[in-house]
Every structure is written in C-alpha cells, then in structure tokens.
C-alpha cells in the first residue's frame, strides 16, 4: 500500500506555481517550479514506524534534457543530483523510485534543483509504494 502526497499540497520555493496546462496530472494540478538552482518542492509524509520506505516521484520533463535534483529527507540529501530525465512531452509522466530511511511520524521529503533550469514538473510523491512504509528496522 502507499499513500499519495500531491505536490501542490506541499510547500514550494517562491516563484513556483501550481499549474494545470498540461494533461494527465493527479489531484488539482502539478508544481511548476521556478527555474533556478535550489528551486524546491517539499511534502511532509507520515510513517507509521521507523524503517525503509519506497517513494515514487511522479514527474514530467518535456525539455529533452535532464533536470537533476537533490532528494532530501529531513534535511539530509539521500540522492544527490538525481536525474529526472526527459519524458516524451509535458503531458507524459514518469516515476523516479527510490528507497529511503524514515523515522516514525512526520518526515519532510524535498526535491531541490541542482541547476538553473529548476525542477521537472512534479505531480506527486507516492510514499511506501512497495509496502515499505511500516517496516521496522532489521
């Protein structure tokens, strides 16, 4: 099981907007970040227990070029300059999936652009997409 956290329900860097001008998004829109280094989207997710969680980041990138971002959990970068490679167009979304360590309760997951291009468009983060959200450490 997983829980969906819409990007538009999180926080975002100044100049970012919630847009609806491309197709196939979930919720009420997607986040179009400002085009700058450090442009970010952050969602707060809830983990039932400490352990590993799988997160799937839904994004679109119609530029044809990578839009890398640092992925951090509670302020610590867990995936540095993670590639968000081009998708077919801005209407076509893809998942970037990784496993991260979380603590019990609230955890802040942030995507922050590492280039002046800003982030890919971000639709949502599915938390615990592979059922890892409630696993205890082993």
121 binds ligand GCU (CB under 6 A): yes
* DSSP bridge pairs for 32: 17
Is 100 in contact with 135 (CB distance < 8 Å)?
no
32 binds Ca ion (CB under 5 A): yes
Residues 3-62 that bind ligand GCU (CB under 6 A): 19, 22, 32, 35
66 binds ligand GCU (CB under 6 A): no
Q: How near is the Cβ of 26 to ligand GCU at its closest, in Å?
A: 15
Binding site for ligand GCU (CB under 6 A): 19, 22, 32, 35, 63, 90, 118, 121
């Amino acid at each position: 099981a997983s829980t969906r956290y819409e990007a538009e329900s999180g926080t975002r860097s100044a100049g970012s907007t919630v847009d609806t001008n491309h197709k196939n998004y979930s919720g009420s829109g997607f986040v179009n970040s400002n085009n700058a280094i450090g442009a970010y989207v952050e969602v707060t997710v809830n983990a039932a227990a400490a352990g590993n969680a799988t997160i799937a980041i839904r994004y679109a990138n119609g530029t044809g070029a990578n839009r890398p971002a640092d992925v951090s959990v509670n302020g610590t970068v867990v995936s540095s300059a993670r590639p968000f490679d081009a998708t077919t167009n801005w209407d076509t979304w893809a998942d970037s999936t990784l496993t991260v360590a979380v603590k019990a309760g609230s955890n802040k997951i942030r995507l922050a652009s590492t280039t002046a291009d800003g982030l890919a468009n971000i639709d949502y983060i599915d938390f615990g997409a592979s059922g890892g959200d409630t696993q205890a450490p082993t």
